[in-house]
Structure 1
Amino acid sequence: MQLNRLVERIDASDANFSGSVFENVNLSGAIFRDVSLAGCSVENVNLQGVTIANANLGDVSISDCRLDGCKIDGVLVSDLFAAYYAAQQPTGNA
């Protein structure tokens, strides 16, 4: 099924969209509950302001992303990186 230039709301329950391709699609304000995105590729997306809760992020890889203001369990990712890199510095106590 192809949906081109469709400007309507879609309510999908108990649906299987495995193997689907979404390109140049606006999903602003969409709600995803009990959805499996296992094995998906997400590239060049705007996730600003998105809340992810009760998710399995095991084996997730994040690269080349802006993380300004991004928090994990209320902690800024920039603070987590700063603490990590500080811990990697030699202490000079040889």
Structure 2
Amino acid sequence: MIRIHDAAIPNSEFEDVNLAGSRFIDVNLEGATFHDINFTGLKISAARAPDARFEHISMDRASFASMDMKAVRFSNVDFSGAEISDCNVEGMRINGHLVTDLLALAEKA
């Protein structure tokens, strides 16, 4: 095990590296890029990710809880089998339609 503490190694590159079981605590990854990464079992907590971009990612069985997703955009996403519960959907739109309006129509049916 290598323990790195209070270090500055900006613009570093890691290629073909096994970091399984590693922990990153109080780390600045601003502007970092991850490509072809196995994040199976990944846990991210107490993080800030404004302007983050997630592209070409499989998130089968992933879960999201206690998150601020204001003004987040999803496009070309496969939500089949996805579930949303106990969430504030005020102002949320799906294909231009307010979710609250869609839910109200579903309740009437």
Aligning the two structures, in what range does the TM-score lie when normalised by the shorter sequence?
A: 0.7 to 0.9
Residue 82 of structure 1 deviates from its aligned partner by 1.5
Q: Does structure 1 residue 59 correspond to structure 2 residue 67? A: no
Q: CA deviation at 1:15?
A: 0.9
Match of 2:29 in 1: 8
User: What stretches of structure 1 of length at least 5 have no aligned partner?
Assistant: 88-94
State the alpha-carbon separation in 2 of the partners of residues 59 and 43 from structure 1. 17
Tell me the TM-score normalized by structure 2. 0.75
Match of 1:72 in 2: 94
Aligned twin of 2:50: 28
Q: Hey, what's the Cα distance between the residues in 1 that align with 2:28 and 2:91?
A: 32
1:48 aligns to what?
A: 70
Q: Number of aligned pairs?
A: 87
Which of 1 and 2 has higher RCO (CA within 8 Å, sep 6+)? 1
Give 1:83 shift. 1.4
Structure 1 runs of 4+ aligned residues shifted over 6 Å read none
Match of 1:37 among 22, 47, 59: 59
- Percent identical across equivalent pairs? 26
Cα drift, residue 23 of structure 1: 1.0
Q: Distance in 1 between matches of 2:71 and 2:95?
A: 15
CA RMSD of aligned residues (A): 1.0
The 2-side partners of 1:8 and 1:60 are apart by 29
Distance in 2 separating the partners of 1:8 and 1:17: 16
CA distances 1:11-31 after superposition (whole Å, capped 9, x unpaired): 101111111111111112100
Gapped regions of structure 2 (runs ≥ 5): 1-21
- Secondary structure of the residue that 2:103 maps to in structure 1? helix
SS in 1 for 2:23: coil
